[in-house]
C-alpha cells in the first residue's frame, strides 16, 4: 500500500522541451553576432540570463527525478539528457563570454558560418527532444540525430579550415590565440549537440 504514496511519472519531457527552447534562443542570440553592428556585450549578458534560466530548469528536473518513483524512461537517461542539454547552453554562454572578454567587434565570414551551423544544430536538438514525448515516429527522431551528426561534421570542417587559414595569414600571435580559442569554442557547441543526439538515439532504439 505504501507504493501509492510515492511520486510517480512526472512530466520530464516538459523540462527537456523548455530547456531545449532556451538553448535554441541562446544560440540565436549568438547568431546575432554575425550581423554588422551587433553589441557583443549585450548579447553575452542576454545569453548569461538564458543560461541561468536553463540552470533552474536543470535543477528542478534533477530534484524531481530524485523524488519520483516511476519515470517515463530510464532514470539514467533522464539524468543524461538533462546534463547534456545543460552542457550545450553552458558552452554557448562560454563562447559568448570569450567574444566579449576578447573585445571582438566583428566576426569574419568563417566565424559567421560557424554560428549558422551552431544554430541549426540546436534547432535539430530541439526537434529531436520534442519527439521523445511520443516516440511513435522513431524514424523522424533518428533523422534529426543524423542531421545533428552532419552539422557537427560541418562544424569540424569550418574549424579546421579557419584555423589553417589563421596560422597561414595572421602574424600577430595574440590574435592567433584569440581566434583559435573562439573557433574551438564555437565548434564545441556542436560537439555537445551531438552528445545529446547520441543519448536520444540510444533511447529511441531501445524503445523502438
Give 10-residue mean pLDDT values along the chain (208 residues): 42 94 97 84 95 96 90 93 97 96 92 96 97 90 97 98 95 94 97 98 88
How high is the pLDDT of residue 151?
Answer: 98
How high is the pLDDT of residue 33?
Answer: 86
Ranges of H-type helices in the chain: 12-31, 40-67, 75-101, 109-131, 138-169, 173-207
DSSP 8-class letter at 68: -
Q: How far is CA 200 from CA 13, 52, 56, 161, in A?
A: 12, 24, 22, 30
How high is the pLDDT of residue 10?
Answer: 55
Q: Which CATH fold would you assign to the domain 8-207?
A: Methane Monooxygenase Hydroxylase; Chain G, domain 1 (1.20.58)
How high is the pLDDT of residue 17?
Answer: 96
How high is the pLDDT of residue 2?
Answer: 38
pTM of whole model > 0.85?
yes
Segments making up each domain of the chain, as ranges: 8-207
Residue from 76, 11, 85, 95 nearest 53 by CA: 85
Amino acid at each position: 500500500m505504501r507504493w501509492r504514496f510515492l511520486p510517480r511519472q512526472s512530466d520530464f519531457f516538459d523540462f527537456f522541451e523548455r530547456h531545449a527552447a532556451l538553448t535554441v534562443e541562446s544560440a540565436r542570440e549568438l547568431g546575432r553576432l554575425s550581423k554588422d553592428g551587433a553589441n557583443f556585450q549585450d548579447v553575452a549578458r542576454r545569453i548569461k540570463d538564458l543560461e541561468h534560466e536553463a540552470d533552474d530548469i536543470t535543477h528542478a528536473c534533477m530534484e524531481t527525478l530524485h523524488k519520483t518513483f516511476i519515470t517515463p524512461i530510464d532514470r539514467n537517461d533522464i539524468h543524461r539528457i538533462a546534463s547534456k542539454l545543460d552542457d550545450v547552453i553552458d558552452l554557448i554562454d562560454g563562447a559568448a563570454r570569450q567574444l566579449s572578454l576578447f573585445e571582438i567587434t566583428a566576426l569574419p565570414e568563417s566565424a559567421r558560418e560557424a554560428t549558422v551551423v551552431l544554430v541549426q544544430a540546436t534547432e535539430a536538438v530541439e526537434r529531436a527532444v520534442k519527439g521523445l514525448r511520443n516516440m511513435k515516429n522513431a524514424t523522424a527522431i533518428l533523422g534529426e540525430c543524423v542531421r545533428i551528426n552532419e552539422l557537427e561534421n560541418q562544424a569540424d570542417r569550418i574549424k579546421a579550415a579557419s584555423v589553417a587559414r589563421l596560422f597561414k595569414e595572421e602574424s600577430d600571435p595574440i590574435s592567433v590565440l584569440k581566434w583559435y580559442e573562439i573557433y574551438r569554442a564555437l565548434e564545441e557547441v556542436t560537439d555537445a549537440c551531438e552528445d545529446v543526439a547520441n543519448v536520444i538515439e540510444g533511447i529511441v532504439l531501445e524503445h523502438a
